[in-house]
């Protein structure tokens, strides 16, 4: 869904009986699809941003945290070792205990950060040496206590920059309705080649013949919506308006879901209300499901990442591959939106997920599934101040 123009916005506002001031029109409509609101994440390669007098590792971390992550909880914390190295930990205060009880998705988010940092550091003239689980055996009980990785930056004069690094600032998760032509096998091969994933197997599902998959994805979202604890978890991370987005600089929102212009104005001012009663009301659930179904039905193809095993290291490495996939899709002009509900591992979702994964061999796991298409809608999800991620 593209942002509508101010002229169109005013036209529909009048027809709906909504009278807005000029400042309100400016607030709800972007003058350009790539224009960023103040609360959206900054371009980590902006010359003014890069020129700040901070250490290379802090600049690299600032790039890394623009990576995609579940519910935009930004589940990272860092212990700085020196100007060129740091430890990465899971932030145990930013987990999704109901929709992600195994913490698989949270660890995929560790991998997206590591790959984003590694590729982004090349722009700074550094190669990133990443050592996973530097303190030895790592289990779920070690979340927040043992590091996921040790990162060391090495200055390299003759560094050959990976072409994917050029798309880090442009990469954005678009959850809007997609347009454009259906993805072809040729499109997929270009994305696969550019992504050059290292740890996962990419599989392409064309639009034609994806009716059953679409039904399963919608059924999975319906299950998450109808399961009180999982839908409540989304409410906790939901930011209701621009003021909350700017205050918390994390979480999910209507803007992140591709809603802008008059739809956004009406939804946030007349329909969205704080509190559990409104959130779990039949009207709100139906509106959310209608929006989700329209997204799925507009998909022009799907790609999923499969691993041969399903251990913590597979989760982290799949995250690194997913980041590369997303950048490769961006490079080739496609939008990408993860469909994570059907992969979640809580009891109510088990029947739907088990049917979806019934063709897998023992031990295999589909780690990520995403829909693709074309969209010019831009919302650069916010990020907290990098200082908030640092351990004292």
Q: pLDDT by residue for the chain (392 residues), tens digit each?
A: 344 444 544 444 444 444 444 445 445 555 445 678 889 999 999 998 888 899 999 999 999 999 999 999 999 999 999 999 999 999 999 999 999 999 999 999 999 999 999 999 999 999 999 999 999 999 999 999 999 999 999 999 999 999 999 999 999 999 999 999 999 999 999 999 999 999 999 999 999 999 999 999 999 999 999 999 999 999 999 999 999 999 999 999 999 998 877 777 777 776 678 999 999 999 999 999 999 999 999 999 999 999 999 999 999 999 999 999 999 999 999 999 999 999 999 999 999 999 999 999 999 999 999 999 999 998 999 999 999 999 98
310 vs 321: CA distance, rounded Å: 15
82 Cβ contact partners less than 8 Å away, ≥ 6 residues apart: 57
- Residue 187: the pLDDT is 98
Task: Spell out the domain ranges in the chain.
Answer: 55-169+382-389
What's the whole-model pTM score?
0.92
261 vs 255: CA distance, rounded Å: 10
- How far CA 240 is from CA of 101, 283, 345, in Å, comes to 25, 16, 27
**Pairing status of strand 238-239 against strand 252-253:** parallel
Q: What is the CATH number of domain 55-169+382-389?
A: 3.40.109.10
202 vs 185: CA distance, rounded Å: 12
């Amino acid at each position: 869904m593209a942002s509508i123009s101010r002229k169109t916005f005013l036209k529909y506002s009048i027809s709906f009986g909504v009278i807005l001031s000029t400042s309100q029109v400016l607030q709800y409509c972007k003058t350009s699809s790539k224009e960023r609101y103040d609360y959206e994440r900054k371009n980590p390669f902006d010359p003014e941003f890069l020129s700040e007098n901070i250490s290379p590792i802090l600049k690299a971390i600032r790039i890394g945290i623009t990576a995609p992550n579940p519910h935009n909880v930004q589940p990272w914390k860092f212990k700085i070792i020196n100007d060129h190295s740091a430890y990465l930990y899971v932030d145990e205060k930013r987990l999704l205990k109901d929709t992600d009880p195994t913490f698989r998705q949270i660890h995929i988010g560790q991998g997206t950060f590591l790959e984003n940092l590694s590729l982004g550091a090349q722009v700074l003239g550094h190669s990133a040496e990443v050592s996973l689980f530097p303190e030895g055996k790592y289990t779920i009980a070690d979340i927040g206590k043992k590091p996921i990785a040790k990162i060391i930056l090495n200055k390299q004069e003759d560094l050959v920059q990976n072409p994917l690094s050029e798309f880090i600032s442009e990469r954005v998760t678009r959850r809007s309705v997609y347009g454009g032509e259906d993805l072809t096998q040729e499109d997929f091969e270009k994305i696969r080649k550019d992504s050059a994933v290292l740890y996962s197997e990419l599989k392409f599902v064309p639009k034609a013949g994806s009716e059953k998959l679409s039904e399963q994805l919608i059924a999975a979202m319906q299950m998450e919506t109808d399961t009180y604890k999982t839908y409540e978890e989304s409410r906790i991370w939901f930011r209701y308006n621009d003021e909350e987005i700017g205050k918390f600089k994390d979480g999910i929102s209507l803007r992140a879901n591709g809603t802008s212009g008059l739809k956004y104005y009406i939804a946030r001012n007349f329909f969205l209300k704080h509190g559990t009663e409104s959130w779990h009301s039949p009207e709100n659930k139906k509106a959310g499901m209608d929006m989700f179904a329209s997204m799925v039905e507009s998909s022009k193809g799907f790609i999923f990442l499969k691993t041969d095993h399903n251990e913590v290291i597979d989760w982290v490495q799949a995250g690194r591959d997913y980041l590369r996939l997303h950048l490769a899709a961006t490079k080739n002009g496609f939008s990408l939106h993860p469909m994570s509900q059907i992969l979640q591992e809580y009891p109510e979702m088990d029947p739907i997920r088990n049917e979806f994964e019934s063709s897998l061999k023992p031990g295999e796991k589909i780690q990520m599934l995403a829909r693709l298409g074309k969209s010019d809608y831009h919302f650069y999800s916010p990020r907290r101040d990098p200082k908030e991620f640092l351990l004292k």
